[in-house]
Amino acid sequence: MTTPCSSASSRPVAGAPFRLIINGYGRIGRCYLRALHEAGISNEFEVVAINEPANLAGIAYLTRFDSTHGRFPAPVTAGDACLLIDGKPIAVTHATTPEAVDWRAYEPDLVIECSGRYGSRAELQRFLAAGCPRLLLSHPGNGADDVDATIVYGINHESLEGSERLVSNASCTTNAAVPVLDLLQREFGIEQALLTTLHSAMNDQPLIDGYHHPDLRRTRSAMQSIIPVSTGLARGIERLLPSLAGRVQAKAIRVPTHNVSAIDMVLTLSRDIDGREVNRLLRAAAEGCYRHLIAYSDEPHASIDFNHDPHSAIVDGAQTRMVGPRMLNLMVWFDNEWGFASRMVDVTRCWLTRMRAARLRLSLN
Ligand SMILES: NC(=O)c1ccc[n+]([C@@H]2O[C@H](COP(=O)([O-])OP(=O)(O)OC[C@H]3O[C@@H](n4cnc5c(N)ncnc54)[C@H](OP(=O)(O)O)[C@@H]3O)[C@@H](O)[C@H]2O)c1
């Protein structure tokens, strides 16, 4: 395990800008492009193409105006088969299969897979066979074996060697839960963990009831109900923190808000503690090495307060509770779109920097 303080990816990238393609330009695809733009690192990265089935006018419109994150902070227009951001063109294609895009023509270093439509290694290999050099997924894939590495930035990004071809950025919830659980596990020990995610609505739910999804509950109106859905969170946590294997369970409940989610954590700790110790630990992490990933607050918050917050997790210290000396209840907020997209940018930077360094070493040998 490494801490964000030892991050190689905070160093600037030497050489020509890395060339990126975004496949699937929905909520996360658009947040990713915007997070790159807002991070002010456009000298290091160039988004050279977007592949998205929607038409160009719609792509330009939803880049420019976003109901959740507001207007794009630069001029956006539609050009000739391209999106223009601040006058700079990004080619746009509208294919629905990896084979239908001439990836090599764009000479990409990395394709950011944000369609969520490809989960197995066989499906992901189709991109590599069609000319993509490497893929960063905005989801966990079907299982750990379907990707070369699953990265939660701040926890295991230092394990990236640069030679991987299929890397998953895990899920937004895993990115929120793992840094907090890792700190608690190391400081107090965790015997059991039950996590309930209260997740805002997503585009895999209809606005009103409709035949839309194989998960029957996801056919119900997103705006009318609190809807329990299946989640791979427990397995996702165990993938990153193997010391918790067999001791984590999770539930996910979709709620009728448009963005920002929360995790209600119930943990049995390995030793007696005082709840104030937990808050002290998490506040110190948020003010220290983990400040890029974790924030801490004990103000009286509602979820909307964290819209467009780039942290992976915001600990709500006012909600910390103890039942006896070992059962801890914690509440953690996260912007499931912006926080996650910001971590995808971090992983992109770290991975490609290492890829370039590995190439340089090879050429010097
Ligand atoms: N939203 C979040 O908070 C969040 C957070 C973390 C991770 N994720 C994960 O990220 C993935 C995308 O989620 P999202 O919320 O961004 O979904 P989304 O808004 O539905 O975006 C997906 C986009 O990909 C397009 N698409 C569909 N098939 C495609 C194909 N074959 N090739 C290229 N593009 C294709 C979709 O077009 P159509 O609409 O026409 O199908 C849509 O515009 C999912 O796996 C999700 O679990 C989401």
4 pLDDT more than 60: no
Residues 29 and 40 in one domain: yes
User: What is the residue with the minimal CA distance to atom 45 of ligand 1?
Assistant: 116
Residues 40 and 52 in one domain: yes
Residue 220: both structure tokens together? 């119900």
1 pLDDT more than 90: no
Active site residue 172: yes
User: What is the residue with the minimal CA distance to atom 39 of ligand 1?
Assistant: 26
* Residue type for position 267: L
pLDDT at position 62: 98
118: helix, strand or coil: coil
pLDDT at position 195: 98
For 147-186, what is each residue's pLDDT tens digit?
999 999 999 999 999 999 999 999 999 999 999 999 999 9
Test site for ligand 1: of 23, 27, 112, most ligand atoms within 8 A of the Cβ = 27
Helices (H), 145-287: 172-187, 233-240, 275-287
Residues 281 and 229 in one domain: yes
For 307-318, what is each residue's pLDDT tens digit?
999 999 999 999
- Find out whether the beta carbon of 23 lies less than 6 Å from any atom of ligand 1: yes
Residues 145 and 245 in one domain: no
343 pLDDT more than 80: yes
- Find out whether the beta carbon of 98 lies less than 6 Å from any atom of ligand 1: no
pLDDT at position 2: 42
Q: Residue 6 annotated as binding?
A: no
3 pLDDT tier (thresholds 50, 70, 90): very low
Q: Are strands 135-137 and 166-168 parallel, antiparallel or unpaired?
A: parallel
Q: Residue 27 annotated as binding?
A: yes
Residues 138 and 165 in one domain: yes
**Residues of the chain with pLDDT > 70: what percent?**
96
363 pLDDT more than 50: yes
Residues 160 and 178 in one domain: no
pLDDT at position 364: 85
Ligand 1 atom closest to the CA of 116, numbered from 1: 45
- As for how many domains the chain has, the answer is 2
Test site for ligand 1: of 23, 103, 115, most ligand atoms within 8 A of the Cβ = 115
Range of the domain at 258: 173-336
CATH of the domain at 44: 3.40.50.720
327 pLDDT more than 70: yes
Residues 288 and 313 in one domain: yes
For 90-110, what is each residue's pLDDT tens digit?
999 999 999 999 999 999 999
- Find out whether the beta carbon of 63 lies less than 6 Å from any atom of ligand 1: no
Residues 42 and 190 in one domain: no
pLDDT at position 246: 97
- Find out whether the beta carbon of 24 lies less than 6 Å from any atom of ligand 1: yes
Q: How far is CA 327 from CA 233, 242, 275, 330, in A?
A: 21, 21, 10, 10
CATH of the domain at 286: 3.30.360.10
Block residue for tokens 């905070």: 10
* Residue type for position 148: D
Residues 27 and 160 in one domain: yes
Residues 232 and 273 in one domain: yes
Helices (H), the chain: 27-38, 56-64, 121-129, 172-187, 233-240, 275-287, 338-364
User: What is the residue with the minimal CA distance to atom 6 of ligand 1?
Assistant: 172
8 pLDDT tier (thresholds 50, 70, 90): very low
- pTM here is 0.96
Ligand 1 atom closest to the CA of 337, numbered from 1: 3
Catalytic hit among 82, 172, 289, 350: 172
Residues 282 and 346 in one domain: no
Residues 354 and 332 in one domain: no
324 pLDDT more than 70: yes
For 43-89, what is each residue's pLDDT tens digit?
899 999 999 999 999 999 999 999 999 999 999 999 999 999 999 99
pLDDT at position 13: 53
Helices (H), 232-335: 233-240, 275-287
